[in-house]
Chains A and B, each alone.
Chain A
Amino acid sequence: MASFAISSSFINQEDVGFRCFTPKCCKRISKRIVSVMAPQQSQRTPSTTGSVKTGMTMTEKILARASEKSQLRPGENVWVDVDILMTHDVCGPSSFDVFKKEFGQNAKVWDREKIVIIPDHYIFTKDERANRNVDILRDYCTEQDIKYFYDIKDLGNFKANPDYKGVCHVALAQEGHCRPGEVLLGTDSHTCTAGAFGQFATGIGITDAGFVLGTGKLLLKVPPTLRFVMDGEMPDYLLAKDLILQIIGEISVSGATYKSMEFVGSTVESLSMEERMTLCNMVIEAGGKNGVIPADATTYKYLEDKTSLPYEPLYSDEQARFLSEYRFDISKLEPLVAKPHSPDNRALARECKDVKIDRVYIGSCTGGKTEDFIAAAKVFLASGKKVKVPTFLVPATQKVWIDVYSLPVPGSGGKTCSQIFEEAGCDTPASPNCGACLGGPKDTYARMNEAQVCVSTTNRNFHGRMGHKDGQIYLASPYTAAASALTGYVADPREFLQ
């Protein structure tokens, strides 16, 4: 076996393995990664590696490391060490209740620094139970001395709450809690979003969370991996939302049940972190257990100013076995929607241009990030006209809200998103939270309280999802949503972007 200069004392001398970087990237990464670093000496062909018994996928490797096993196969059940547990106002109170009931009233959480509590679902409402749930969280966080509790007290003015962030999955990324190679569990199905950082991230329930709170471990079944290879230059009218709608439409809402979805290819590599988050966010809509995108320079750059904790990325082996592989030539794709009432009810946006709509919603962990708003603003800018239907804008987090009001939109001569939105006649960007993506209490801003047709950048369009049982929701990218707002019908963004 070849031997390499091992620069880190954390790595066992017996371990053979290295990640190959060009020297330039070595310099940038060595600040953050505790890993074996060596200049590339010679290409290692698979036959010389010797020690690899069976190639593993990225997901298998992450779970293997987290369960202290050298080898794992799909289907195995293992106890996994958890790096981060996230919960929010809907599930947090019960998770802590379960924890106390099962571990004792005086029990302490397994690690006060590995638990991130993010109120985000039902915040700006007069619903007493919803408000009470945030209070319950605060009590527990105080009692357990939880390090990361993004609290909110003044519901009338989100800006008056310095700790408050907003939508949990976006906050996790922005606050540096997502790191390559780690295991992140959250009491929310869209926890899979964090897979964009090359980590194992999945949603769990209250009881499981209560268990993790006490032990820092969970019993997980190793999923097999579906590989999605996306190549080709991303057309300037497509966004990651179109890519994932394409995939879900291809494999159906149960196509990835109990499976991991790995996204690779030149197109994926060209995506920003926020776009990668959008891709992984809707893995759950295909039934997927988790999604992963290999960490690379884009990932490291994003994390540079956000986390100081060391991390160690893992990558699928050359010999890893995938259940299936799907290949896409992205340059041939067109803007898509998911028609009511299923995320896999895929259709071309241009084929739905006769569908009259009543409103547009731009927000949520899926489509309420900074880049999503910049994308929407680009369409409004290109058009120069006003929207024809009420257009609701809900930035995911405080940071996104600030970006919407401060970042200049390319090609606008220095205008901010907020200015462009105002000129287009959109609603004023609202307080950051999950908002109407899932309906919520009846007084939730932009909740669908009548049977209407909505184009939305959110993630689900099942019956009643945004509030009204007979509402019709078309899931779309921010480009498509903005284009639809301008025409008053479901619209292909190429009407404005080309």
Chain B
Amino acid sequence: MAAATFSSLHHKISVSNSINKAFHPQSSPNLIKLPSKTPRPSSFNSISPKPTLSPLSTRPRAAADDVAAPATAFHGVCYVVGDNIDTDQIIPAEYLTLVPSNPEEYKKLGSFALIGLPAAEYPTRFMTGGEFTSKYSILIAGDNFGCGSSREHAPVALGAAGVKAVVAESYARIFFRNSVSTGEVYPLESEKRLCEECKTGDVITIELGDSLLINHTSGKEYKLKPVGDVGPVIEAGGIFAYARKAGMIPSRAV
């Protein structure tokens, strides 16, 4: 069979690394044109991991592109969830007709945050009926938080509900990426399994500069993991702000 011939051969042959695209890359007027042969500006390419957390420029959605006062700490009451909290639990699909870029609907999304959590496992609800924001502003989670769909409505719903930061043992990729791109919630990773150390209702402070989570209720402190490669993107306030800073797209027209 021809197919068998292909595979047995192509494994033996190495293909050149430098095959150029056969067609010219489109250059959009929305891009600041960079000559293709010159090296890109270093602020562009080298995204060096940061050993400590940097202050976050919070960028409230649907607001002007002015940098708000950078956050250095988060303080509030936490809500604790377990492993593999998927996007259907964070915001069930029936609410996805709500368009996040519409301010009214953004607000409504907030009212449905975490409504999909099974009642049996989570008798204390994240939101009580009729509210638009939750009294819990910090979410503590186990592994693989945000798995499932790519719906950006997930971090948006949490952000709209007033969640400032999520501290999870690990994240699903798209949810993490969406959190960073939008700036809706600050996605932090813990060293330990905090979902077993903290309880819903505990009073928490997160010191970004020291990568520290303080549980005032239990009196314990926990180290958080450095933000890593996405630090500059979060710091800038999302993918657009980062790209502007990197000189890739022009500043917003006033």
Interface residues of A (CB under 8 A from B): 8, 10-12, 14-22, 24-25, 34, 40, 43-44, 46, 49, 51-53, 55-56, 61, 64-66, 68, 70-71, 75, 77-79, 81, 90-91, 93-94, 97-98, 101-104, 107-111, 114, 121-122, 127, 129-130, 133, 136, 187-189, 191, 203-208, 210-211, 214-217, 219, 221, 253-254, 257-258, 264, 266, 269-270, 284, 287, 289, 294, 296-298, 310, 312, 314-319, 342, 438-442, 460, 462-465, 467, 469-470
Contact = CB atoms under 8 A, between A and B. Distances in A.
Interface stretch (B95-103, B126-134, B185-193): B95-103
Contact of A207 (B2, B116, B181): B181
Interface bracket on B: 35 or more
- What are the 3 A-B residue pairs with the smallest beta carbon separation, nearest first? A17-B16, A97-B101, A110-B28
Contacts of A442: 94
A75 B119 CA distance: 39
User: Which of A71, A130, A257 gathers the greatest number of chain B CB atoms within 10 Å?
Assistant: A257
Contact of A269 (B4, B94, B101, B105): B4
Chain B interface, >50% SS class: loop
A204 B177 contact: yes
Given A136-B99, A253-B84, 17 more contacts: A10-B23, A25-B6, A78-B45, A94-B99, A127-B97, A215-B249, A254-B84, A254-B143, A284-B148, A289-B173, A316-B11, A438-B88, A438-B149, A439-B93, A463-B117, A464-B92, A470-B118
A204 B148 CA distance: 12
Contacts of B253: 104
Contacts of A207: 152, 178, 181-182, 238-240
Interface in B143-175: 143-144, 147-152, 170-174
A312 B6 contact: no
Contact of A91 (B15, B152, B239): B152
Contacts of B173: 257-258, 287, 289
B69 interface: no
Nearest to A10: B22
B47 interface: yes
A207 B229 CA distance: 19
B152 A94 contact: yes
Contacts of A107: 30
A421 to B, nearest CB: 27
A460 B88 contact: yes
21 contacts: A11-B22, A17-B14, A17-B16, A18-B15, A20-B10, A21-B6, A22-B2, A52-B14, A68-B25, A78-B45, A91-B150, A102-B240, A102-B249, A110-B28, A214-B28, A214-B249, A215-B30, A221-B229, A257-B172, A318-B12, A465-B93
A52 B243 CA distance: 32
Interface string B243-254: 100001100110
A460 B17 contact: no
Contact of B86 (A14, A130, A264, A462): A462
A262 B167 CA distance: 31
A314 to B, nearest CB: 7
A19 B15 contact: yes
Nearest to B181: A207
Contact of B17 (A56, A75, A91, A114): A56
Contacts of B42: none
Nearest to A94: B101
B210 to A, nearest CB: 26
A464 B243 contact: no
Contacts of B98: 129
Nearest to A20: B9
Contact of A205 (B11, B94, B178, B242): B178
Contacts of A317: 14-15
Contacts, number: 287
Interface in B68-115: 84, 86, 88-89, 92-94, 96-102, 105
B29 A108 contact: yes
Contacts of B239: 207-208, 211, 219
Contacts of B6: 21, 25, 269, 294, 296-297
Contact of B20 (A15, A43, A46, A98): A15
B15 A17 contact: yes
B240 A342 contact: no
B26 A110 contact: yes
A238 B47 CA distance: 45
User: Which of A19, A296, A314 gathers the greatest number of chain B CB atoms within 10 Å?
Assistant: A296
B144 A254 contact: yes
Nearest to A310: B22
A456 to B, nearest CB: 14
B155 to A, nearest CB: 8
A133 B17 contact: no
B80 to A, nearest CB: 17
A189 B101 contact: no
Contacts of B28: 108-111, 214-216
Nearest to A92: B99
A462 B89 contact: yes
Contact of A463 (B3, B4, B116, B151): B116
A19 B88 contact: no
B14 A318 contact: yes
